[in-house]
Amino acid sequence: MTKLYNYLVKNGDAVAVGVSAVLFIIFALAIYLGSSSGGYNLNELIDRKDLSDVNCFNPGLWMAIILLVLAIFLTVAGIVSDLFKNIKSGSKSIFGFLGIIVVFIALYFTSSYDSGGRFGAYWGPEFNITEGLSKFISAGLYTMMAMAFISFFLIIFFEIKSFFK
């Protein structure tokens, strides 16, 4: 396990780029071969009314779902192992994660349900967006924006701080 860790420390960027390139090639081949074997042209997909038989994007979607589940599992496993290895930094990770959850819950309950305006077409029955789903989406977007701004300002702050050391 130590050899794998040392290898990834040294070549982790190359491994990540290589894996993403392989996944991209698999996805592109699945789209190209799936569209030609399905009897339709990719240029004609925009004009088609019924897209229920279009399944050439499924391999890419499944790869994304598998990678998402793997990332969540590795994140939780890393937090749990860090908690047992170093209680002080592990507890900070847990408190940070709980803080994000508290912010998300607060934003969920303070988000409004807007059923009109420029996005009025999405509130129709074909999209099936309920009040709870609308608030969930809003809370997720606001939480993501807050984390992006906080991350940006912390990066700037610590870069300036390290510059003057």
Reported as a single tens digit per residue, the pLDDT across 123-163 is 667 777 778 888 898 899 999 999 999 999 999 999 999 98
pLDDT band with cut points at 50, 70 and 90 for residue 60: confident
Q: What is the DSSP letter of 77?
A: H
The amino acid that residue 83 corresponds to is L
pLDDT band with cut points at 50, 70 and 90 for residue 97: confident
Q: Are 144 and 126 in contact (CB under 8 A)?
A: no
Residue range 37-59, pLDDT digits in tens:
666 777 776 677 766 667 777 78
CB-side exposure of 76: number of CA atoms within 13 Å? 5
Q: Token pair for residue 80?
A: 């749990």
Work out the mean pLDDT of the chain and round it to a whole number.
Answer: 82
The more confident residue out of 124 and 12 is 12
109-128 average pLDDT score: 72
pTM of the model: 0.51
pLDDT band with cut points at 50, 70 and 90 for residue 113: confident
The more confident residue out of 55 and 76 is 76
Q: Name the CA radius of gyration of the chain, rounded.
A: 22
Q: Are 103 and 146 in contact (CB under 8 A)?
A: yes
User: Is residue 161 within a helix (H) or strand (E), and if so which, with residue range?
Assistant: helix 131-163
Q: Token pair for residue 145?
A: 């924006």
79-84 average pLDDT score: 78
Residue 123: Cβ-neighbour burial (10 angstroms; 0-12, 13-18, 19+): middle
